[in-house]
Structure 1
């Protein structure tokens, strides 16, 4: 399946290629040999910020040569600075003073590089201010030497983060309960704990003119499609924006289609979910500062499946999937079918049920569509209020508010009791979807389908469903059809769609995602021992 080249959004804003932060430094940006001139420019650029630590150490007996250590308080680990950098510099300064001579490191820094690298594995050189400021404001320590136009960067990141905690956005029934944190390096290490393969590659870049946010692209070489990997890389490099504060920024810039309620990029805060997606040939995009990791390409089936489907037995997982699809049907079409049947197709109802509904609606001043619209809007307001309220009272307010308002509306003759039941079942069914952003899409589509049902009955619902299916078939995620493996129909991939077959039958990866390495294991059932016969 050929990939469709991205030319909008990120391509428009960054048509010149890479962002200015990736441009080569000019002569004015290069470090000077005069240490005091370098320090003066650094202080001036940073506005003499009080959290920037600058410590000068005299070097040699006369003290005319000095070394400066620069770090950001709160981002750099003071213990690492002292053990791997400061003690080494102080020891070499003392040795040079005892020898009554200046050390050769004043000219090129090679000896200091060798000494510090014995205690710190993250060592590299720097010769321009742009790289210096990025390292300094990222938590690293910069070592500048008087008389040298080259400095050293020592990895000393050590800021406080939330650490590894239990998932909050994705509830876990069975499986690992750990979740990603806001630290990029912590997140990459959690994925490598799951996949100990040297072919798990990580590419890191900085996106954002002002924030200079670290963004990582992770994939398994040999399993991921090289064309999709290159497409993801190109779209990320075309992003030209001043800030990236969350992975949602990246999502909007690289998605294929903007005007659609359906998400075309999957996200999760669970390392086991991301590892499973990587093993299918997909690509993970990690953004520093957020626990939500993006996965591309994303298919419709990805949002309808839960990670617990692969931790339970295959028959239990298949039953739960069927129940989930039924809930999706109710969530999308529940109020619409009620409106259409009670308004245009009363002959479809049993006589006793029809008389009961007619008796309930005898005193209702509004048609069924207005009834459903009032209840749906009210419930959406209560649900959003429950999310924004403090956790201690959020759930209580939403439940009590729904009960009180529903009961009062029925007693006041504004809403029928049957409508309250339909809206309540619809709302409960919408919570069954594992992906929150897909649940929002179905909640949004519920309203135009209700309008079609109130205007044209079941015919309007069928027209709306046909338009919805056509729209889904037109969507792509990084060149892969969104409705794969149903459209186009791929029989070999049907083993993990509506039903989930046993693991020993899941021998191949999705055909349109991983083209180079599609085999997980030979598709033969495990042999039984003699005791089982």
Structure 2
């Protein structure tokens, strides 16, 4: 697996140690025994921020022991703090071990954990770096005067969007739920679908300033251990101030930057991610975004929809072939029209050629400039429709394209045939189930238009050869991007251009899952039909 980083070594450099001894000392600064000293450091470091609530209380039988409670207003559940933490410490605990003594009682913190606090998550905190990370994540900090060790209490709660329907990957048949911006909700949605003890999850914080929580989920025994280790390596090598969305992680861990094709898959649907994990892929959940990443990703994966596995196999196969055909139309339709009308008139039927010549009689631009104007205009309308309010965005795009196309034809700037070709191309680009692949086609379409205008069909052919060679050279975490097409695998064709019935797809992708390939131990038992007499 050492070849994984040959193309990516320049992109992700290992984090260099800090050269500032003062900063390094500050990051490793341990808590003081004095409560007032700890509070003073917290206030000074956070700049007396008004959303940081610090409450000093007295606990114990006679109230001689001082304690400090700190939390971030808006990230913590204030009623729970008052009911389950402060009330327990101030009113319900009257144990003599909580009395202030000249020598601190080593059992005091254990007594508080065992008898005083009714919260689920309790961790020890010994340094200010951990204190600030947990405090600014929504947890509650409890410090006791006379002790250089405190506790962080799990009490996160903030305003968030609940589980709603997916807006980017809609289906007619299938689950409607989608991921939210809360990472814990997202992991729970995956756990809800895969109730397997071998579904392991690893967490880490990435970003020196944002400290964004990242979770990696995979099934031990199905996922390739080498790919899991490679992903750990790439995540650990990220040295950046902040991670705000899974797209930041995607750009930093993908194999190659010199390609328009996505080599990391993303989805906001729990069923899609769960199915990918069952196939041996690894999911990367980033806190603060509803889009979950899965690796490795294959080219054919971007033409598959979750609905393909909820509908009949024959209907799904027809739709999938239609998607690949639409991919070809979206990529090559304008280029083929330009090549035919510019260099290869003999390829066009005579009657159609006469009509095209009549349409272009008053058009002042060559076919390439016509297509370029229409494609750029449509891209502008598409982006405007996405950014405008939803109530008028779609209407503006449809009306704008219709009005501009009609007016351009009547004004003699564009031929009617070119408007038809560009319209069909635009419609075909929307057939792709994933937005990332559609964006790649949008970019490459202009390249093929330029080749067609310069060299005709010869240029398109050379461009296609170069594109195929490029796709075959790509890898996603060591897995060939075009698998199972290249290298060709006969068993992988069960779910590539067509989908066979589920009872026939009893193996996983061999290159992705090398430890447990079988999905059905006895495939014949799943075959539908009446039971035959023995």
TM range (shorter): over 0.9
Counterpart residue number, 1:253: 252
**Residue 470 of structure 1: how far off its partner (Å):** 0.5
Residue-by-residue CA offset, 1:110-152 (whole Å, 9 max, x unaligned): 10111246x2221111110111111111111111011111101
Change (3 A) 1:111 1:103: farther
* Aligned counterpart, 2:485: 486
1:120 and 2:123 equivalent?
Answer: no
User: Which residue does the alignment assign to 1:77?
Assistant: 77
What does residue range 467-482 of structure 1 map to in structure 2 within 5 Å? 467-482=466-481
Q: Which residue of 2 aligns with 1:430?
A: 429
Aligned residues of 1:10 and 1:240 also touching (Cα < 8 A): no
Q: Which residue of 1 aligns with 2:193?
A: 194
Distance, in Å, in 2 between the alignment partners of 1:238 and 1:27 is: 20
Q: SS at 2:361's partner residue?
A: helix
SS of the counterpart of 1:494? helix
Query: Does 1:231 pair with 2:230?
Result: yes
CA deviation vs aligned residue, 1:385-425 (integer Å, no higher than 9, x gap): 11111111111111111111111111111111011000000
The structure-2 alpha-carbon separation of the partners of 1:206 and 1:272, relative to structure 1 and needing over 3 Å to count, comes to same
Which digits, 9 at most, give the CA deviation of each residue in 1:439-496, with x for residues without a partner? 0100110011011111111111111100000010111111111001111111111100
5 Å-filtered alignment, 1:326-405, equals 326-405=325-404
Shift of 1:166: 0.9
Q: 1:126–1:153: 8 Å Cα contact kept in structure 2?
A: yes
Alignment of 1:64-103 (within 5 A): 64-91=64-91, 94-96=94-96
1:106 CA displacement:
7.3
Deviations 1:161-212 (A, max 9, x none): 1011111121122111111111111110010001000111111100111111
Residues 60 and 94 in structure 1, CA contact (< 8 A), matched pair in contact too: yes
Contact kept, 8 Å, 1:366 with 1:414, in 2: the verdict is: yes
- Residues 6, 236 of structure 1: CA spacing in aligned structure 2 closer, same or farther, 3 A cutoff? farther
Distance of aligned partners of 1:384 and 1:26 in 2 relative to their CA distance in 1, 3 Å threshold: closer
- 1:102-501 aligned at under 5 Å gives the runs 108-116=108-116, 119-501=118-500
Q: Is the partner of 2:360 in helix, strand or coil?
A: helix
Residue 529 of structure 1 deviates from its aligned partner by 2.9
CA distance in 1, matches of 2:487, 2:98: 78
1:17-36 alignment runs, 5 A limit: 29-36=29-36
Structure 1 residue matching 2:196: 3-state secondary structure:
coil
Q: CA deviation at 1:364?
A: 1.1
For the 8 Å contact 1:19–1:239, the answer to whether it is kept is no
Q: Which residue of 2 aligns with 1:56?
A: 56
Residues 385 and 394, structure 1, Cα contact 8 Å, conserved in 2:
yes
Q: Whole-Å Cα distance in 2 between the matches of residues 238 and 531 of structure 1?
A: 59
CA distance in 2, matches of 1:3, 1:426: 39
Give the total of aligned pairs: 530
Give the match for residue 44 of structure 2.
44
Separation (CA, whole Å) in 2 of partners of 1:238 and 1:88: 44
- What whole-Å deviation, never above 9, does each CA across 1:207-244 have from its counterpart, x for those lacking one? 11111110111111110000000000010000000010
Q: Secondary structure at the match of 2:483?
A: coil
**Equivalents in 1 of 2:213, 2:100: separation in Å?**
45
Give yes or no for contact 1:504–1:526 (8 Å, CA) kept in 2.
yes
The whole-number CA distance in structure 2 between the counterparts of 1:106 and 1:38 is: 19
Are the counterparts in 1 of residues 104 and 147 from structure 2 also a CA contact under 8 Å?
no
Confirm or deny: 8 A CA contact 2:429 2:438 kept in the other structure: yes
Query: Which residue of the partner structure matches residue 530 of structure 2?
Result: 529
Give the 3 Å change call, closer, same or farther, for CA 290–349 of structure 1 in structure 2.
same
Q: Distance in 1 between matches of 2:426 and 2:13?
A: 40
Cα pair 2:472 2:482 within 8 Å, conserved: yes
In the superposition, relative to structure 1, how do residues 27 and 464 fare at CA in structure 2: closer, same or farther (>3 Å)?
A: closer
Structure 1: which 5+ residue stretches go unaligned? none
SS of 2:204 mapped into structure 1: strand
CA distance in 1, matches of 2:245, 2:100: 54
What secondary structure does 1:483 align onto? Answer: coil
- After TM superposition, the runs of 4+ consecutive aligned structure 1 residues lying more than 6 A away are 17-20, 23-27, 97-104
SS in 1 for 2:379: helix
Whole-angstrom CA distance in 2 between matches of 1:283 and 1:479: 14
CA distance in 1, matches of 2:99, 2:488: 79
Equivalents in 1 of 2:48, 2:405: separation in Å? 61
2: distance between equivalents of 1:18 and 1:488? 45
Taking structure 1 as reference, are residues 59 and 247 closer, same or farther at Cα in structure 2, changes over 3 Å only?
same
Report if the CA contact (8 A) 1:341-1:348 is conserved: yes
